[in-house]
Structure 1
Amino acid sequence: MKASSQQQAPTSGTPAEPSGTPVNPELLRWLADANGVGTTYQGWDGNPHDVAPATLIRVLAALGVQAHTDQLIESALAESELAPWRRMLPPAVVVQEGTPSQVPVHVRDGSAVRLSVITEDGRKLEAGRQDAWVEPREVDGVTIGRATFDVPANTGLGWHTLRAESEGTVAEATLVVVPSRLSTAAPLEERRGWGLATQLYSVRSERSWGVGDFADLAELAALAGARGADYVLVNPLHAADPVPPVEPSPYSPSTRRFFNPLYLRVEAIPELAYLKPKKQAVIRGLMKQARKLNKDTTRLDRNTAYAAKLAALELVYGVRRSPSRQRAFEDFCRAAGTGLDDFALWCAIREDIDADDPFWTDPAAALGSPLVEKLRNELADRIEFHRWLQWLCDEQLESAQAAAKRAGMRLGVVHDLAVGVDLQSSDAWTLKDVLASGVSVGAPPDMYNQLGQDWHQPPWHPTRLAEAGYRPFREMLATILRHSGGIRVDHILGFFRLWWVPAGNSAGDGAYVRFDHDALIGILALEAQRAGAVVIGEDLGTFEPWVRDYLAARGILGTSILWFESDGDAPLAPEKYRLQALSSVNTHDLPPTAGYLAGDHVTLRSGLGLLERPAEEERLEHNATLEKMMQLLRQRGLLPADDAGTEEERIEALHRLLAQTPSVLLGVALVDAVGERRVQNQPGTTSAQYPNWQVPLANSDGDSVLLDSLDENERFNALLAAVEESIRG
């Protein structure tokens, strides 16, 4: 239905249909800019592109700003100027430690006002008022003045509370003091590090239940640490659906705060030992069947594996915990708070109600509604079960990190943070108040996806997230960093701006929405500093130079991929790589190096109809690119001048070349160390076309590679030894 100036405006946050009468484009652009919505963007062709007015109107509506008539635009422009004056305090204030910072306080003009800071450790600090005068404003018939206060210099890092008082009125807001620069990567500048990167689900052992798990992660960390590695970087371990069938992509999770019980090792749960013999026999039967999946080298069967694990976990859950174990469980639940309670509630309901059921979008079934609170009581035991699963995940991740540290790793486990969650997910339901509705995140058209991309993920609502004191963002980061030595942030550009696609629009018909990157990066740095963790930003693709400079200045490492680093039409010389970066030969969206050298991706994309030109032209260009890289390897003495070398020799040479870079971290893909050729994810395809995120680890002959064989795997040992030798020099 189209809206007109006489019709009632849609509910805030619901995208409105553009009016049949064109709006003033200049006014619309002003309003978009005032709300952080980009009206133009630079396309992959290097040219500027205007965002369609109808798209701007829908994106603004998702922000709660109605703009489908000139009258509404003028009203919204006026409100955008008055909004700060309507609040006594800003919704949240994020400042850098050691940097003089001010807080505006709005009160009735001429009224006495004081501002204090209640620190997280309970201290009360009085803020000093600046002798600065700002012209008062009339707001709703009242003259409002602005007083400016300095944040006390001795506040210290952390999460604090601002408290303003004036004429009996009190207002509070979140104050976050963040590091000016994250210092956790500094030791790597003194002594560089390297590590393995892998998709954990694909890395199985003889004891796996068809899918790699947390115990396998501990084993892999121990193996790599013994060979000099400093970390193991894994795919996002975020939770998916609570029951099969589950989404295979780890980058489209149900929540980014909690973990996927699919990765639990049932035999590592202490209570298993106290299960009655008949039930233990049932679990042994489930385990035996699940382990048969380890022989399949074509496609992982998550659903069968997860169903078997859930059946076993249900039995173990029934065992009474010892007093100390029960206290540990209760302490975990208490620390995780309402976030865990709400996630477990969603899991319990989701067991019986499909994700696409109207229940999840029914206002009467919103979190906190009488209906949902009734379900919370009725499903108490199922909620406890899902809280228990998260406790087990926490314990086993703690064990994996401890194993990595015992093996000599300086960082240990490095987690991966996905861009967002699925539109039909736990976070989309439990965090609805801080997510934008009616839009999803994606990417504008580029040379690889000329129609653009829609990832079907709801973005943070910038204003509502700030009004929540950034608490959901903080809790997500704190949980991921709890047992890790680092975090890789996928598409860290999303902390600066994200491509929003209104519902019903094509993926290319969207707009960029700006975020408060100072706040988001600052909070990321604060939580990482407290956890002693390194932060790696995936900053590939189109980035304005200042963004990379900004991240480097804040102590955030970047990402460099050998095949993407160039100097004109030649490979970039290794000494020209960035110091503050994790550099690797490839990434999970490219074939393993053995497959890339053979041009397997050209054959695959041709067969799937993904090429924009004949396969022969694509292959000729690929071969020319490879030859330039081989020439560089020969010039550096890493390959014989008159010999292309074997596949293993070329892969080793590429990693030795990478070791000549100044980058503080180097990455070795586990697939490269065993000769795997198949890509984990082929962008632009569905699971019916290609088994994305379902490829088990195998060698160049297609034989399954289990963790148990890695200790004596000559290819694995040779590549890791070459990297260790090269980086230590």
Structure 2
Amino acid sequence: MSTPPTAGDATLPPELCRLADIHGVATEFWDWSGRRREVSVATIRAVLSALGVPADDDEEVAAGLEDAEVAPWRRVLPACVVVREGSSREVAAHVPDGSAVAVAVELEDGGTVELEQREDLTPPLEVDGVRTGRATFVLPADLPVGWHELVARVHGADDESQVRAPLAVTPERLPEPRLGTARGWGVMAQLYSVRSAASWGIGDLADLTELTGLFGDLGADFLLVNPLHAAEPVGHMTPSPYLPATRRFVNPIYVRPEEIREAAYLTGPQRALVDWAAEEVRAANTVNAPIDRDAVWAAKREALGVIHAAPRSRSRQRALERFRAEEGQGLEDFALWCALKERYADRPWPRELQDIRSPHIARARRELAERIDFYVWLQWVADSQLAEAQRQAKTSGMGLGVMHDLAVGVHPDSADTWTAPEAFAHGIGVGAPPDMYNQQGQNWSQPPWRPAALESSAYAPLREMVRTVLRHAGAVRIDHIMGLFRLWWIPAGMGADEGTYVRYDHEAMVGVLLLEAARAGATVIGEDLGTVEPWVREYLAERGVLGTSVLWFEKDDDGWPRRPEDLRHDVLATVGTHDLPPAAGYLAEEHVDLRRRLGLLSQPVEEVRAEARLERERLVARLREAGLLPEDHTERELVEALHAYVVGSPAVLVGVSLTDGVGERRAQNQPGTDTEYPNWKLPLADGAEQVVMVEDLPGSVRLDSLVTAVRRALGADDRLAS
């Protein structure tokens, strides 16, 4: 017997439901407890409005339905066509009735394929006063993978015209990770937390290079780091790497100034300025205190300004110019946003500059040309240092090398929302509906992409972002990959529990992602934790996208940990996540103590602690059942057994957190908090809260023991020896 729905603020009108469905807006959903929930009329109207579809009354709804019916007929060709390789597909062309039309594909390599026309008996339709007919053409199944163009040649009674539309032919699936072995392992680190003696108070790209070399020599295939996305260029820098100013470009706080070639040729006084700036923050490297990004960036920005002013050789200048040309208008617009942020600091921008399409923007580009050059240069030097990190990774034997993490969205007041406002739904925050852990739901505040705008732009925001992120990487982890399928939209002024799901064209979104990853030779991992419909995981597996498996969350219906052989193959498997304490802390119930101190528990602490102890007891029983843990064991042996248990699964990739390797007990992030906990600020430390630096890692007995245990369980010792 089905559960009756929970009503919204009114019974949903059928016509409003039809309009919502056309635009991918859910009018009902199943919550975490298995109940079917009806979305309120107010939410549906607000979400449709954010999609550019007025629906405040019956007349607007009727007009919206009529517009949706004729919208495809207003275009000669679709805005963008995305098709899988090996698949045939029909494409409709709409032209004035009586006109002749032919359609061809212009391939990116210069070739042309004329399309066969198929009989189409659809009657003509009156569209905006023009009697319009439809002709249907067939895309052949043997088109090559790539970005091509559809070209329609329309022959009317009085003239001839051409209309073009992008065509993406995407890979059927990505290949297995290029490891050289059937399975591989790697290390996961929060780069900002891993500092060396030469760091400027924060882990940086020079430290990344050292880490890829170190772990590559130990047999690792990848190093997964937190998102390196750019943040605010001036003022307070948002600590969370998951709330960036853009997901395309890099935060220059990760640049090591001394590694820039021109730094070696500075004059004495110039070099003194750089050294003095470094001294201000370098002392923090050995202190176990929250990382002060604002102080670090103030020091680095001063030093980077000195280095930028130094002359560059002709070859270096040409390399900068080539990078600038390759990244194109997107880089120019981002640099302009940074320059404007710098000019106006905390002051509101003039109204004429709040819209990038304003004619006043051209003058701002001229006036700020020097600062734009500086911010372009910052991206170039960051790109160069990322290239060196990936080169070191591959030289040291890593199969994949650097694995980037892609956040689910951007800050509401971000470069992305300013440079491409039409791509975003304004007045909407992305989040999650209520679940057993967050009974009020979650609002992450990021504005979502508008599905129709993505199609109109041929998915430019997605493809350009992925292309740039994968310039110097062997893999990318997509945070909340369900965002390519649907997102929970929350209208401004409403609670997180008052949102609804909005669907995306996942076939197109995933296809574009795969096309760019294939061109980069990269592996894609989707973070598919939480509420994910089973068909989504199956779909991603079919397309060669790896999923995510976290041991703490892998439980049978009876609450017992799943046995290793019952876990998935096509995944990156780990013991924990950055939203939980490292293994040693989790086993010691640090997550319970922390949530109690911060007032985040929804149950009595005794119940929560009892559940945590039962979870540990069951897991220890499983470890002993697998022959991985002796009766009298140490904390180190327990942590190593947990990793061996994960390695015992068929997972193609296994991740080892660096915090587990050094005995750290503190979580990097506590969901549900902002200033109450130093999220994304904790430096790497051991179990005694003593700072662990990059130089300490090669001689770390605990890290070496954990790596040895993982290699032994994988049977990788022979590969390392060879």
TM-score where L is the length of structure 2: 0.96
699-708 or 240-249, which moves further after superposition?
Answer: 240-249
Shift in alpha-carbon separation, 1:215–1:353, aligned structure 2, 3 A = same
Partners of 1:441 and 1:455 within 8 A in 2: yes
Matches of residues 361-440 of structure 1 in structure 2 within 5 Å? 362=351, 365-440=354-429
3-state SS of 1:677 partner: coil
Specify the alignment match of 2:93 in structure 1.
105
In the TM superposition, residue 406 of structure 1 has moved relative to its aligned partner by 0.8
State how far apart, in whole Å, the 2-side matches of 1:106 and 1:358 are: 46
CA distance in 2, matches of 1:659, 1:470: 38
Question: Aligned to 2:217, which of 210, 226, 232?
Answer: 226
What pairs with 1:328-727 in structure 2 (closer than 5 Å)?
A: 328-354=319-345, 357-359=347-349, 362=351, 365-568=354-557, 569-640=559-630, 642-643=631-632, 645-687=633-675, 689-727=676-714
Distance in 1 between the 2:283 and 2:591 partners? 30
Letter in 2 for 1:720: V
Structure 2 residue ranges without an equivalent (≥5): 1-8, 717-722
What residue in structure 2 maps to residue 16 of structure 1?
none
Query: Please, which of 154, 163, 168 is the counterpart of residue 171 of structure 1?
Result: 163
- Asked if structure 2 preserves the Cα contact closer than 8 Å seen for 1:202 and 1:697, the reply is yes
Determine the C-alpha separation between the residues in 2 that align with 1:565 and 1:109: 59
Deviation at 1:528, TM superposition (A): 0.5
- Asked if the contact 1:214–1:396 (Cα under 8 Å) also holds between the matched residues in 2, the reply is yes
Would you say the 8 A contact 2:144–2:169 is kept in 1? yes
Deviation at 1:181, TM superposition (A): 0.8
Letter of the 2:233 counterpart: P
Shift of 1:464: 1.0
Structure 2 CA distance for aligned equivalents of residues 376 and 718 of structure 1: 55
- Which amino acid in structure 2 is aligned with residue 472 of structure 1? P
Q: Could you tell which deviates more after superposition, 440-449 or 597-606?
A: 440-449
* Alpha-carbon offset, residue 728 of structure 1: 1.6
Partner-residue secondary structure (3-state), 2:697: helix
Give deviations 1:178-231, integer Å, cap 9, x for gaps. Answer: 00111143x559520000001100010111100000010111111111111000
- Provide the residue aligned with 1:90 in structure 2: 78
Count of residues in correspondence between the two structures: 703
RMSD: 1.5
Decide whether aligned partners of structure 1 residues 302 and 364 sit closer, same or farther in structure 2, where only a CA change above 3 A counts.
closer
CA distance in 2, matches of 1:189, 1:397: 23
Task: For 1:724, give the aligned amino acid.
Answer: R
Q: 1:279 to 1:512 in 2, by over 3 A?
A: same
Identity, % of aligned pairs? Answer: 51
CA contact (8 A) 2:120 2:134 kept: no
Post-superposition offset of 1:55: 0.6
Deviation at residue 108 of structure 1 after TM alignment: 2.0
Residue identity matched to 1:706: M
Aligned counterpart, 1:17: none
SS at 2:196 equivalent: coil
What secondary structure does 1:95 align onto? strand
In the TM superposition, what is the alpha-carbon distance from 1:25 to its structure 2 partner?
A: 1.6
State the 4+ residue runs in structure 1 displaced beyond 4 angstroms: 21-24, 187-190
Secondary structure of 2:117's counterpart equals coil
CA contact (8 A) 1:23 1:70 kept: no
Correspondences of 1:201-212 after superposition (within 5 Å) = 201-212=192-203
Q: CA deviation at 1:509?
A: 1.0
Residue-by-residue CA offset, 1:253-310 (whole Å, 9 max, x unaligned):
0000000000001110000111110110121122122210112212111111111111
Q: Residue 552 of structure 1: SS of its match in structure 2?
A: helix
In 2, the alpha carbon distance for the partners of 1:22 and 1:445 equals 21
Equivalent residue of 1:298, what SS? Answer: coil
Give me the whole-angstrom Cα distance separating, in 1, the residues matched to 2:467 and 2:353. Answer: 32
Name the residue aligned to 2:114: 126
Shift of 1:363: 5.9
SS at match of 2:525: strand
3-state DSSP of counterpart to 2:573: strand
Q: TM-score, normalised by structure 1?
A: 0.95
- Rounded Cα–Cα distance in structure 2 between residues aligned with 1:294 and 1:221: 20
Aligned amino acid, residue 182 of structure 2: R
* Structure 1 runs not aligned, ≥5 long: 1-20
**Cα gap change, 1:102 to 1:286, in 2 (>3 Å):** same
CA contact (8 A) 2:550 2:575 kept: yes
SS of 1:405's equivalent in the other structure is helix
Distance 1:22 1:69, change over 3 A: farther
SS at 1:508's partner residue?
helix
Q: Deviations over 1:479-525 (max 9, x none)?
A: 00000000000000000000111111111111110000000100111
SS in 2 for 1:493: helix
Please give the alpha-carbon distance, in whole angstroms, between the structure 1 residues aligned to 2:199 and 2:554: 38
In structure 2, what is the Cα distance between the partners aligned to 1:189 and 1:140?
A: 60
Q: Which residue of 2 aligns with 1:180?
A: 172
Aligned residue in 1 for 2:40: 52
Counterpart of 1:31?
19
Q: SS where residue 122 of structure 1 aligns?
A: coil
